[in-house]
Amino acid sequence: MKQLIILSLLTGFSLFTTTQAQFNLGKLKINDFVKQEHLDVANELFDTDSQVEKLRAEQLDKDTSFYNYIFSQGNRASFFANRDSQESLLYTLGADYDGKGEPIVPEIYEQIFELNRTAEFSIYINPEIATYNFMEALALFTNEASYAMISLDSVFDIRDLLDMDTVSLEEKYAIGKTMANIAIMIHAEGKYNLSEELINQTISYFQEEIGVNCIALASLYNNLAVIVQSQGKYTEAEEYFQKSEDLLLSKNKKNSLSHAIQTSNKALYYNEIGQDEEAEKLIATAMNMAGEELREKGRDNISFKINQGLIYYSAGKYEQAEQLFNEILELKQKRMARNQTDYANVENYLASVLLESGKTDHVQTLLDDALRIFAKKYNEEHPAYIKTKHNLGKYHLYRGQYTEAATVLNQVNEAYIRYFGIHHPDYLRSLEDLAVVAWKQGNYNLANERFKQVISTNLTQVEQNFAAMSEYEKGQYWSQIRPSILKFYNYASERAIEDPALLTEMYNIQLKTKGILFSASSKIRNEILNSNNESLKALYLEWQQSKEDLLLYYTYSKAQLDQLKINLDDAETKANQLEKALSKQSADFAAANKLPTTTLGEIKSALAPTDVAIETIGFPVYKNSFTTHKKYAFLIADPNTLHPALAILDNGAELDGKYAKGYQNMVRLKIDNPILYEQYWQPVDQKLGGVKNVHLSLDGVYFQVNISALKKPDNTYVADGMNFHLYASTRDLIAPKSNKATAKLADFFGYPDYGNEGLLAALPGTKAEIEAISQITQSNGYTVKSFMAKNATEDNFKKIASPSLLHVATHGFFLQESESTQEKVLGIEVSQAAANPLLRSGLMLANAEQAMGGYQSTNEVSTANNGILTAYEVLTLDLKNTDLVVLSACETGLGEIKSGEGVYGLQRAFQVAGAQSVVMSLWKVSDEATKSLMTYFYHEWMSGKSKSEAFIAAQKRLRKDFPEPYYWGAFVLMN
């Protein structure tokens, strides 16, 4: 169930006691702003009174019958149509008052209000008709019929069209209302940048024409918050939500319906950033607020409950969602509303919840009834009918009823082709379901073909759309795409013996997608937008808008594309041309916005005869639906065989759970436990006879386990039989290294003066470490800059300019989300840190204690130099020519592990900043052992060995003095 946001228009306009509004708007210069294409469309839509009435009837039908269907398309927020008698636009627009103070509503205002109301509802159903509803409302308002044929842009040129000195205050409100609605409509079309621009223009209009603190701004700030939230600008969103609430409170609107809507939207904001508990609290608060103004069983209150149910569903609280949806159905049954389409939609929601939670007894009954209603009210080609039938196909698949599933899903798939085309995500999801059906029915050739088409199309669209998205949007988008790949991994690993070519396909997909979210694209984007190259910035923004348009167009049906006169081929051509122009002007942009093209064949060509490359892949087990069980697959590529070998560990959940705790205890207690070797590595080891070098890409729990330091039953360690070379992805085996500088420049940070609070233990061993390795590197021709004590500041760290070597010896940290129980942790607001693991990982530098003591409110997350360098800040460093970063600090290899992505922490942040290789630690270790390891490593490296050879040799030397793996196995070298 895709979850988007419907913008709720607050209606807190002040009431005025004035004479009836006069329509002396001055001479309109209509013809100067009319565009022929809009005239043509307008003439077609409004050529006769009967056509207008037909469109009006169709649209009003959608207003009532589609109201809850909007939510079935994934929209979460409650939506109100300004119907509240105390705050509606109807009573705001220049209403006259009789002697008793009762409002007299002129007919024209009622018509305008109805048109605006109709347009608001139509935003998420038919944006084209919504546009002309706005235009017709303005035509009535100004008595200028030509407005029904004016382009959307003309409304924002209103000051050029009208003599604003002759426009009454009420009329100014009406114009601003229309501007605000158009901005929201543009957002609904997916044009986020343009929507943000228009809503800001509307805010400026209200500030200048009405007043800087008018109540209408509360609505606009609320809408701006949701608009920027949809772009992943969470800090800005929270700021605008707060401005909206502050203004409402200043106008005595606390606990009003307007305040309830604003609180509901804020609840959805917290839900979107993963703060489910806060979201649930706020939606409950919003419902309590609205309860004073809405009937308990009224339609709007039901909308709040649906909203709450969808929040529960998103949080995985299926019992609560089930209860809410059952209550709504029961209420509608009492109202004799069992044959309404909104009843069918709630049935569909409930069926989805039950199917997700494994309660399938009543799912088919719910879906069959929903299909009956949709077939009667609409037809079997209607999207509501098709999507519900798709759920029925999924139900049959879940139950293992493959014949029934094939019949239903084939019908759905064909309908999606007719209605949407082959690029639409619903079509691809139905084809994915059909691939699973073919797999389960033993039709493997057809399963291969369908999986290949789904994955190929999805990855093509990922490449087309990722660069125009924020990091959050990428994550949301990828979370919808990745399940198809995970299903294929289950299929390929099950069929590996009969069809080993599937393992090659599996390896190639992993090479293309591993770490797909954590790239340098955001850094490239920021560099472009912060540069002084205005033409490049303008080109980038135009391209970004074209990609947003294209992504939206892919969700349109063929009929919608025809109606809106959109040529998909032309839109694709435009986006491609803009991207080519960008690539010509920025080589970094060209590189950052493409998925990797490395193949298994290239990896094998880089291997020596006694080498292997291994991709580790953790994935949930799929049996007609994803389960809580997990597997780890090891794809073992060697230069002598056509397809990879496969080792499967079926107990992935135990490896992530109880055995991971056993490993931590082994390290902490400095003991050996051969069972851990048997669990984590033996099935792989048995396939590696005669191998000397293992180039290993890690995943999941293996980021926390040093395989080379596991003890085998014969009392030897894994490291005694082979050398390990670790990678985020084995594609890094052939990554170009030509951009690295040849100048021997080294920056060393260590022994920081943390402060006088005694909160951080001093590290005198790091002073000796820096002094020792400084002598070694200087004697080998390096120009060394050392920053210690009070000079080891965050400010100096951020001034680093691509040294070939960067060495940091200090305290490191990674905070689990569950540890963040205070208002602020290390100067970082908990809400921000919880949403971004890069804010929970970092290094302690000089004066770090100032951000620790008492969680001072003055230490904002945006503080530039508070002594704590987070991984998030590391992303902005210039390390494009840095060959090696050594993080000689505790737990610098830790972070939040995301399956298929790696560790969101310091080591990945340094690599994205440009560092080729990173040395890091997996656990806390003594200063003495660390100093010895680093000294040995630099001696070996400076003697002419490669980094990897030097690191392995240093570990072997350290084992003579410190034989326990706790000491010599704490550090690892990545890439």
Whose tokens are 């059952």? That residue is: 326
pLDDT of residue 857: 38
In angstroms, rounded to a whole number, what is the distance separating the alpha carbons of residues 858 and 763? 27
Domains 1-245 and 745-974 share a fold: no
In angstroms, rounded to a whole number, what is the distance separating the alpha carbons of residues 95 and 79? 25
Give the CA angle between residues 716, 721, 725 to the nearest 5°: 120
Residues in CB range of 956: below 8 A, 6 or more apart:
none
219 forms bridges with which residues in the sheet? Answer: none
Over the stretch 345-383, which tens digit does the pLDDT of each residue have? 889 989 999 998 989 999 999 999 999 988 887 778 777
User: In degrees to the nearest 10, what's the CA dihedral of 467, 473, 479, 480?
Assistant: -90
In angstroms, rounded to a whole number, what is the distance separating the alpha carbons of residues 383 and 420? 10
Q: Which of 554, 550, 530, 532 is nearest to 542 (CA)?
A: 550
CA atoms within 13 A on the CB side of 671: 10
pLDDT of residue 622: 94
Residues in CB range of 667: below 8 A, 6 or more apart:
923, 965, 966
DSSP state of 809: E
CATH code assigned to 745-974? 3.40.50.1460
E-assigned strand segments in 680-722: 693-697
Spatial contact of 396 and 624, defined as CB atoms under 8 Å apart: no
Task: Write the CA distances from 547 to 73, 190, 572, 586, 590, integer angstroms.
Answer: 22, 10, 9, 18, 15
Residues in CB range of 305: below 8 A, 6 or more apart:
287, 324, 327, 328
Q: What pTM did the predictor assign?
A: 0.72
For the chain, domain boundaries: 1-245, 604-734, 745-974
Spatial contact of 311 and 5, defined as CB atoms under 8 Å apart: no
Which residue stretches of the chain have pLDDT < 50? 1-110, 112-113, 115-130, 138, 140-154, 297, 738-739, 818-825, 827-834, 854-863, 893, 895, 897, 903
- Tell me the two tokens of residue 794: 């965050």
Amino acid identity of 906? L
pLDDT of residue 593: 66
Q: How many residues does the chain have?
A: 975
- Tell me the two tokens of residue 465: 């759309």
Phi-psi region of 60 (alpha: psi -120 to 50; beta: other; left: phi over 0): alpha
CA atoms within 13 A on the CB side of 710: 26
Query: Helix or strand or coil: residue 707?
Result: helix
pLDDT of residue 11: 33
Task: Write the CA distances from 127 to 185, 341, 673, 744, integer angstroms.
Answer: 7, 21, 65, 60
Q: Which of 929, 932, 931, 916 is nearest to 974 (CA)?
A: 916
Phi-psi region of 789 (alpha: psi -120 to 50; beta: other; left: phi over 0): left
Tell me phi and psi for residue 621, to 5 degrees: -75, 135
CATH code assigned to 1-245? 1.25.40.10
Spatial contact of 373 and 343, defined as CB atoms under 8 Å apart: yes
